[in-house]
Structure 1
């Protein structure tokens, strides 16, 4: 009963160690992903405010009739949408995140009102883009045209990861790795100690060992012998005898108390047990003048 309780405690401790390890891992990745996502939203918000500031400051220059008509004629001549992407000093200065100033810019696009084929330029992966700011021209010459502005910043995943607060997730990940290593070595040492303890409790004869605690026999490779309860009890009697010899009468009385003519049953038991012992050890079952059975080392 004590061994069973001890085993349950060890299994429970192992399960708790694994649970704590995965909890720390989940907290680390969960918090890291949250910080990463929040940083992404913060950058987009910064691009939005910088875009509004820049367009309002330069609307007089960008929304002049001549400027809009020039862009429109260029688009008609090319027969395709015209996108202008360039860095802008005002836009860069309006950004509150310093790391974005050298990797950001503005995108300008001319659209026709109610044009179903009007499209916005797409940015490749690794870029973050603001919301689109659309400015309608009130001038009669350009009333059918619309200017759209977007701010963008080249932010690969590595840059986003570096800008987001990853100190606590990194600490949690380190704690998970340290805990995992500690738990692994602790469980391994406990297993080694259990193996040593079990070896001390073994009764060995030849290369066969009896564990009274586990009620089983081990061969030289530490594999359990598959024995029936009767076979185990008989082998246990051989091992517990100082001479490894047990009389037939004692065996019959122990295995089949009160049974008459039990020697035939004993003979059958011995006959089936012999090949198992000889195949798994350097021992053999012998007969002592027909009065007893015993174990001997094979020559």
Structure 2
């Protein structure tokens, strides 16, 4: 499967992203748990419901996560409870995204990211290493390689053609000038047909988009007398 390297890379990147997000949310939960337990201890030791310097100092000493000791604080918030408003202490970690991310364990996601990058680089190297061999072995022109009676792109993807399309493209590729007269094509492809003009027109019409999709080539007509396979 030519898309297998990209599928594996995408899967590894998705796993790395999911692992990273999971670790981040787990760290957020741990931070919330830590500041809340520290606040509970403060309320037991200082039940006056007043925030002072000593309250903050006591609060931070109860924190178990070292990174929070310089940022965490206590705020007074007015909340509605049982139909009436009241003021209560609320623990705040004061951590932005970057701080929380740095605190989270990203080793697993980092490893997956590293493996994914190595896989992608290895796959690209393999493709580049084998591409010249394909070109050397076959007859190449404008991004199309004719090798072992098959037409392929330089990346090794086979170009699907009908037998008649295959014969026509082979004539274009193997001719030095890549130009064929209308009569030459008709004599080669339909030797027993008196007038194959309409058949040739239909064949050219149908093969044009195939060639343009898989290469940097196009078919040009010279007043209906001849056809040329040229670079775009």
When normalised by structure 2's length, the TM-score is: 0.62
Cα offsets for 1:15-39 (capped at 9, x unmatched): 2211110111011110000000000
Quote the residue 2:12 is aligned against.
Answer: 24
Structure 1: tracts of 5 or more residues without a match:
1-11, 68-83, 119-145, 217-223, 240-250, 282-299
Aligned pairs for 1:1-299 (under 5 A) are 12=1, 14-59=2-47, 62=48, 88-109=56-77, 118=85, 146-199=86-139, 211=146, 213-214=148-149, 232=168, 256=191, 275-276=226-227, 279-280=228-229
Aligned residue-pair number:
184
Judged with a 3 Å threshold, the aligned counterparts in structure 2 of structure 1 residues 214 and 178 are, in CA distance, closer, same or farther, namely same
Taking only aligned residues, the RMSD between alpha carbons, in angstroms, comes to: 4.4
Cα offsets for 1:104-161 (capped at 9, x unmatched): 1111346797665x4xxxxxxxxxxxxxxxxxxxxxxxxxxx4411111210111111
Deviation at 1:173, TM superposition (A): 0.7
Structure 2: tracts of 5 or more residues without a match:
152-158, 176-185, 201-222
Runs ≥4 residues deviating over 3 A: 84-87, 109-116, 209-216, 227-236, 251-256
Quote the residue 2:215 is aligned against.
Answer: none
When normalised by structure 1's length, the TM-score is: 0.49
3-state SS in 2 of match to 1:88: helix
CA contact (8 A) 1:231 1:273 kept: no
CA contact (8 A) 1:51 1:151 kept: yes
C-alpha distance in 1 between matches for 2:127 and 2:167: 34
